[in-house]
Amino acid sequence: MKITANPAAISHPDTGAYDLAVIGTGMAGMAASLIAADRGLSVAQAGLTGEILFSSGFFDFLAIHPVREKRYWTNPWDAVHSLVQDHPDHPYTRISGQTMRHAWDVMLSFLEREGLPYYRESEENIRMITSQGTIKSTYCLPQTMQPGANGLKQNLPCLIADFPGMREFSAVQIAESLRSQWKDIRTLRIQFPGTDGLTELYPELMARALELPLNREKLAMLIKPHIKEVKIIGLPAVLGIDKSLQATNDLSERLGLPVFEIPTIPPSVPGIRLKETFERALPQIGVRQFLQKRVLRVNTEPDGLFRLDIGSVSPEHTIKARAVILATGRFFGGGLYAERDGIRETVMGLKVVQPATRSEWHRDDFFDPAGHPIHHAGLETDNLFRPLDASGHPAYPNLFAAGSILAHQDWIRSKSGVGIAVCSAAAAVESCIYLKEGKR
Q: Which residues from 284-323 bind ligand FAD, rule CB under 6 A? A: 294-295
Asked if 334 is part of the footprint of ligand FAD (rule: CB under 6 A), the reply reads: yes
Comparison of 48 and 84: residue with beta carbon closer to ligand FAD: 48
- CB closer to ligand FAD, 128 vs 232: 128
Residues touching ligand FAD, count (CB under 6 A): 37
At residue 52's C-alpha, the angle toward residues 46 and 58, to 5°, is 145
- Please tell me whether residue 387 binds ligand FAD under the rule CB under 6 A: no
Residues 9-68 contacting ligand FAD, CB under 6 A: 23-29, 46-48, 50-52, 54-56, 58-60
Tell me the closest approach of the beta carbon of residue 35 to ligand FAD, in angstroms. Answer: 13
**Least distance (Å) between residue 134 CB and ligand FAD:** 12
Q: Give 52 or 178: the residue with its C-beta nearer to ligand FAD.
A: 52
Q: Which is nearer to ligand FAD, 29 or 203 (CB)?
A: 29
Residue 174 interacting with ligand FAD (CB under 6 A): no
- With beta carbons less than 8 A apart as the criterion, state whether 91 and 410 touch: no
**Binding residue for ligand FAD, selected from 193, 203, 335, 387, defined by CB under 6 A:** 335
- Cis? peptide before 147, omega within 30° of 0: no
Compute CA distances 335 → 15, 28, 131, 185, 349, whole Å.
Answer: 27, 12, 28, 43, 10
What lies within 8 Å, CB to CB, of 66 at 6+ separation is 86
Amino acid identity of residue 195, one-letter, is T
Near ligand FAD by CB under 6 A, which window of 93-101, 149-157, 329-337, 367-375? Answer: 329-337
Name 95's Cβ contacts closer than 8 Å, sequence gap at least 6: 423, 424, 426, 427
Strands 118-120 and 140-142: antiparallel
Q: Is 329 in the site for ligand FAD (CB under 6 A)?
A: yes
Least Å distance between CB 425 and ligand FAD? 8
CA distance 215 to 207: 10
Instruction: Please state whether the peptide bond connecting residue 283 to the residue before it is cis, i.e. omega within 30 degrees of 0.
Output: no
Task: Please give the residues from 262 up to 281 whose contact with ligand FAD meets the rule CB under 6 A.
Answer: 266
Which value, to the nearest 10 degrees, does the dihedral of the CA atoms of residues 22, 24, 27, 29 take?
Answer: 0
List of residues contacting ligand FAD (CB under 6 A): 23-29, 46-48, 50-52, 54-56, 58-60, 266, 294-295, 327-329, 332-335, 346-347, 403-404, 411, 417-418, 421
